[in-house]
């Protein structure tokens, strides 16, 4: 199964940065760590779904700069990017803070019955 379809099956057409729902056709794939022409960055643990606005805003910005620009992105990424590499998730947790990271973990748990 290709990564795009796998992510759609996992989360639906939801932006991993702003949590906006967009149509399946409009949702884009984003390299969390910009690839700059390197195919090694096309791995599933470096890709998330992103709305066109967030993908354009992020462009080739470094991961850290983009998340620090709006810390809520880090919490969203924890919720919709649990498949990312441990290093990326650790950075997102650090930026989001302990409360936001705990909330993201609760919401990502399929057995959690509430939507906070």
Which segments of the chain are extended strands (E)? Answer: 28-31, 47-50
**Per-residue pLDDT averaged across 92-105, rounded?**
89
Q: What is the mean pLDDT of residues 86-113?
A: 86
Q: Are 92 and 83 in contact (CB under 8 A)?
A: no
Cα gap 66→56, rounded to integer Å: 11
Q: Contact, 16 vs 81, CB < 8 A?
A: yes
Residue 97 has pLDDT above 60, yes or no: yes
> Mean pLDDT over residues 31-38, rounded?
77
Partner residues linked to 31 by β-bridges: 47
The CA-based angle 82-20-12, given to 5 degrees, is: 55
pLDDT tens by residue, 43-81: 889 999 999 999 999 988 888 899 999 999 999 999 899
Structurally, at CATH architecture level, domain 3-108 sits in Orthogonal Bundle (1.10)
**Mean pLDDT, rounded, for 84-101:** 92
The ranges assigned to domains in the chain are: 3-108
């Amino acid at each position: 199964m290709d990564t795009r379809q796998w992510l759609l099956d996992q989360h639906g057409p939801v932006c991993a940065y702003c949590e906006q729902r967009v149509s399946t056709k409009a949702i884009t794939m984003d390299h969390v760590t910009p690839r700059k022409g390197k195919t090694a960055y096309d791995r599933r643990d470096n890709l998330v779904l992103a709305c066109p606005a967030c993908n354009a805003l992020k462009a080739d910005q470094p991961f850290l700069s983009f998340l620090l620009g709006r810390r809520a992105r880090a919490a969203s990424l924890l919720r919709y990017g649990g498949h990312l590499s441990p290093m990326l998730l650790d950075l997102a947790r650090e930026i989001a803070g302990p409360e936001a990271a705990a909330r993201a973990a609760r919401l990502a748990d399929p057995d959690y019955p509430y939507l906070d």
